[in-house]
Amino acid sequence: MNKLFAITLVVLCFVSHIYAQAVPGRGVYCSSNGKDCTGCGAGATDVSGAQALFTYDSSNSCKFTDCSAAVAATQLNGWICNSCSGVIGSKLAAGSFLLGSNCANSCKAPATINAQQICQTPGNNVACSTNGTDCTGCGANATIQGLFTYVSGNNCKITDCSSPTTSNAANLNGWVCNSCNGQAGSAVPAGLQLSGSTCATSCPSGQTASASNSFTCTAAVKIAFTILFAIFGLLI
């Protein structure tokens, strides 16, 4: 009886050891320097956290260390999807590309795959560049400004309307709403302008939005005073 118990225990330990082993992903070319995996965190909210989940292979190749482990939403990026796609034992959704917050087999038009293996849905051109060289005029901080891609003239556009970062309420402004409105696959609420803390198809009664106030619903009296002060400033 003791011998049978011992054999059973050994078998169980062996099976447990097999299932406890990491399931490495396949090699993907995300090393930016041919020495480590610092380039493999690109596209994740937690870039350094995503980098740490990769193991350097050779040349520009790295592979995800354990596809059987759960990946935090902040660390998930296109390289992780690409490395774990088709790997037996992977806990990630099947797919080589990151679409929104999940891995997917393909991008949905008009989204296209970028160099970081992420499906991106570009926005419409909006005239928020104030200097004709970049998109610093498109947002109140660097995070929002960084959501835009400079096009030409005074035009910029949202780089990826399907991104959770773009649709985050803290990053929404009138230019974001205007650029992503009507784009298939957009995660940004529908609407041409910002009303309160979200995009809206129309402004509340007594408020208007246009390029002059950055497509933010604003009371008409406030707009009038702003214009008067601007004229007064020119006359001084």
Task: Give the pLDDT confidence score for residue 111 in this predicted structure.
Answer: 86
Helix ranges restricted to H, the chain = 2-20, 47-51, 78-84, 142-145, 164-167, 174-180, 220-235
Q: What is the pTM of this model?
A: 0.67
Task: Give the pLDDT confidence score for residue 100 in this predicted structure.
Answer: 81
Task: Give the pLDDT confidence score for residue 226 in this predicted structure.
Answer: 54
**β partners of residue 149:** 157
Task: Give the pLDDT confidence score for residue 2 in this predicted structure.
Answer: 56
Considering the domain architecture, whether residues 183 and 81 belong to the same structural domain is answered as: no
Count the residues in the chain.
236
**Token pair recorded at residue 139:** 């947002």
Q: Which of 119, 151, 172 is the last residue of a domain?
A: 119
Q: Is residue 236 part of a domain?
A: no
The answer to whether 188 and 180 have CB atoms below 8 angstroms apart is yes
Q: Please report the sign of the dihedral spanned by the C-alpha atoms of residue 76, residue 78, residue 84, residue 85.
A: positive
Task: Give the pLDDT confidence score for residue 99 in this predicted structure.
Answer: 87
Considering the domain architecture, whether residues 115 and 169 belong to the same structural domain is answered as: no
Q: Is residue 125 part of a domain?
A: no
Considering the domain architecture, whether residues 144 and 178 belong to the same structural domain is answered as: yes
Task: Give the pLDDT confidence score for residue 16 in this predicted structure.
Answer: 40
Of 164, 217, 171, 166, give the one whose Cα is nearest residue 192: 217
Number of domains in the chain: 2
Low-confidence ranges of the chain (pLDDT < 50): 1, 5-19, 223-225
**Containing domain of residue 153, as a range?**
136-226
Considering the domain architecture, whether residues 178 and 87 belong to the same structural domain is answered as: no
Considering the domain architecture, whether residues 108 and 197 belong to the same structural domain is answered as: no
Q: Is residue 216 part of a domain?
A: yes
**β partners of residue 156:** 126, 150
Task: Give the pLDDT confidence score for residue 164 in this predicted structure.
Answer: 83
**β partners of residue 207:** 219
Considering the domain architecture, whether residues 92 and 8 belong to the same structural domain is answered as: yes
Task: Give the pLDDT confidence score for residue 233 in this predicted structure.
Answer: 53
